[in-house]
A and B are shown apart, each in its own frame.
Chain A
Amino acid sequence: MKTAATDKKIRSRRSLSRNDRFTLAAFIGIPTLMQIIFLWLPALITIVLSFTYWNGINVSDIKWAGLANYKNIFFGTPVFYEALKNNLVWLLWFTFIATPLGILLAYQIDRKIKGHKIYETVYYIPVVLSLAIIGIIWNFMLQPGGFVQGVMGRDIGNAVSIWGNYSINTYVIMGVASWRHIGYIMLLYLAGLKSVDPSLREASAIDGATEWQTFKKIILPTMRPVNIIIVVITIIESLRAFDLVYIIYGTSTAWPLLNILVFQNFAGQGISMKGAAYAVILLVLCIGPILLYLRNVFKEDLK
């Protein structure tokens, strides 16, 4: 046993030449260094700044504020809860409507239903656009004086209120965001489905499983790696949402999101560093569920 272990050690050591080791070190070291400099350091600085008052100009002006910024946000800023609600709605909508729709589409297209190529293309097109561009497109379509209003024969004076109508604007924004998200999920899932061994399906069909049973018991479990990616993407996309809404509403918090508040409070206006505090809240919200989920997944994998 001892010899086997040393054998292994020698082999593994041998397999890494000096060159290899250098390459590996570079491959791991450089990205890690960049991560630390450009990601972790600013994140840490943001966390520290969230406990201060500062106008963002002279470092000597930084004043310790303790929990004041957080207190201000949690107890004095009603718009924070509106933003939280909107982010939550976004997350729920993506989780229970947009993402399942994307998966369903992928499943149907993978079964090569009639015209599947056309569906694939149609749903895929929005994915190549950034959400900012999508914001510009839909804003142009729906705003007063926009294309859709024009087609309906409405001018600015009697344009149908959409972005400013609070009984529908949330759904319209969700629809627009889903327009892209569905295609994105479809694409990811489709790639995964292609790698599922067709014999698995045949076997389940022979065993008399229904379509739903096959999907639930065979396809979904074999798609595990893709599922993880999709869950993470859905959570992150919902919480980091910004550009689409920023294009439509600007920094006015007419339809607030946490990221809009980060931007609004950072954007050279204030000295409260509330923006940093919003960013930290967002960071915690993003990292929390993802870490939990990944931990669960890895635990199960180890079993």
Chain B
Amino acid sequence: MSDVNNGISRRSVLKGAAIGGVGLAAGGSLLAGCGKKKVTGDVHFTIRGNLSDAGAKINVAVNDAYTAKTGNKVISQAVNSDDFQNNFVQIMQGTPDDAFGWMAGWRTNARADAGLLADVSEQIKALGSTLSAAAIQGATNPTDGKQYIIPTTYYPWGLHYRKSTMQELGLDPENIATWDDLIKLCEATQKKGLVGYAMGDKGGWEAMGTFDIINMRLNGYQFHIDLLNGKEQWTDSKVVDVFTHMAQLIPFMNKNFLDIEWDGCRDLLLQKKAGAMMMGSWFANDFKAKSQADYDDLWIVAFPEMNAEHGIDSIDAPLDGVSVAANGKNPEGGADLAQFWGSKEGIDAAVAAGDTNIYISSDFDTSTYDAFNKQKLAVLGEAKNIGFFLDRDTRGDFAGPVVGPALQSFLKNPKDVAKILENVQKQWDALPAL
């Protein structure tokens, strides 16, 4: 697969571009292709996750497609996602893989400022109008206005449930419009012996999703972002109010929420043991890997309105993409692969491998999306403001070490909320300026 000689592969690039040349967007990529020197050499790619995961297999398929197109061999290795994140700075200072799946937001920008990531603004330009202005904005590092990640996919955080379960219970989650509706739904599910609001927070980050959305619903997007950046106080009664509402959900959660992580939550839903689950839609890949019927049964709705002033105008929708290591052996190759990931060909390869993500590139025809993906777009479409999720919207030494344990303590002892929030604020105040 790797030893295609350069002449042939270049021809196939031109051929591919010529065929696509009828479309306007593809014409743009043809121009970009002409202006650039051919990139060669092996590319090393880190997949976050286990190779047995459905998502990892899709990663490999995209990399294979890149090899088929360019003749550049891609050596993929899968690394446990948490380990990769935790050791990121060390890995990037050594001899890292050239490119890797990564997340837009703080995790990209702070590391770019430290010189660990390669500038991919050129590749973003080459992808041109296929990326929406909002996506480029989301991928841009505010410090220098450059991009260090090629955004490829995104997903909404919303209430997930199984259509069949709700039908059996005679419930209609599509019509939950208010907080009271949600509570009633949870009550009704629980009465039938199911978990009302599936929660797993052993990982320490999962409950952030619920916190984010309630804060955005009650206090609005701007307050939420300001709070995460130290411009508002955690001891504010508005924040206390968020926790008061969260506490109302605790009785409907599975009792072992500190025993299971997000995947335990997913299994609760998969095994029809739970009604609703607040989660990012990325896990749908696992439903599809289980069976098409399970996947077809999965549905998502937006978290209900809690304050008329803000309606449902905000959502957590993290941008995922591919970043390039500054210290890799072949950063050019890495950047080229990253660009491929963001291009139509890359997306086609992912879709062919069964990916259920929604893509940022407008090169991808959204009319081919399945019903679930169209619903994801609909949920996203209702929001004006996009958050990236708590651990990407605030600094890393605050999200994991401070907010994570605080949410766990809160779930354990909801009555301690005042003390917990006071401590969170104290720890924010103690953080050194970046």
Residues of A that sit less than 8 Å from B by CB? 53, 55-58, 63, 65, 68, 71-72, 75-79, 143-145, 155-157, 159-166, 249-254, 256, 263-265, 267-272, 274
Contact = CB atoms under 8 A, between A and B. Distances in A.
A268 B88 contact: yes
A160 B115 CA distance: 47
17 contacts: A55-B89, A55-B114, A57-B93, A77-B427, A78-B409, A144-B256, A156-B271, A159-B259, A250-B204, A251-B86, A251-B400, A252-B205, A253-B405, A254-B258, A265-B397, A267-B86, A271-B434
Contact of A252 (B89, B194, B397, B404): B404
Contacts of B115: 57-58
A161 B259 contact: yes
Nearest to A56: B89
Contact of A157 (B110, B258, B268, B400): B268
A50 to B, nearest CB: 13
Interface of B: 82, 85-90, 93, 110, 114-116, 194-195, 202-205, 254-260, 264, 267-268, 271, 273-274, 395-397, 400-401, 404-405, 408-409, 412, 423, 426-427, 429-432, 434
B430 A71 contact: yes
A131 B101 CA distance: 32
Most chain B CB within a 10 A radius of its CB, from A156, A249, A272, A274: A156
Contacts, number: 136
Nearest to B90: A268
Given A56-B89, A253-B404, A253-B405, A269 B397 contact: yes
Nearest to A269: B396
A269 B204 CA distance: 15
Contacts of A254: 202, 204, 258, 405, 408
Contacts of B195: 157
B273 A156 contact: yes
Nearest to A79: B405
Nearest to A142: B259
A173 to B, nearest CB: 13
A165 B204 CA distance: 15
B18 to A, nearest CB: 45
A144 B396 CA distance: 29
A249 B260 CA distance: 10
Contact of B430 (A76, A79, A263): A76
Given A250-B82, A253-B204, A268-B88, A157 B431 contact: no
B36 to A, nearest CB: 30
B397 A270 contact: yes
A15 B423 CA distance: 67
A271 to B, nearest CB: 6
B313 to A, nearest CB: 31
B203 A250 contact: yes
B261 to A, nearest CB: 8
A264 B202 contact: no
B161 to A, nearest CB: 15
Nearest to B423: A78
B203 A252 contact: yes
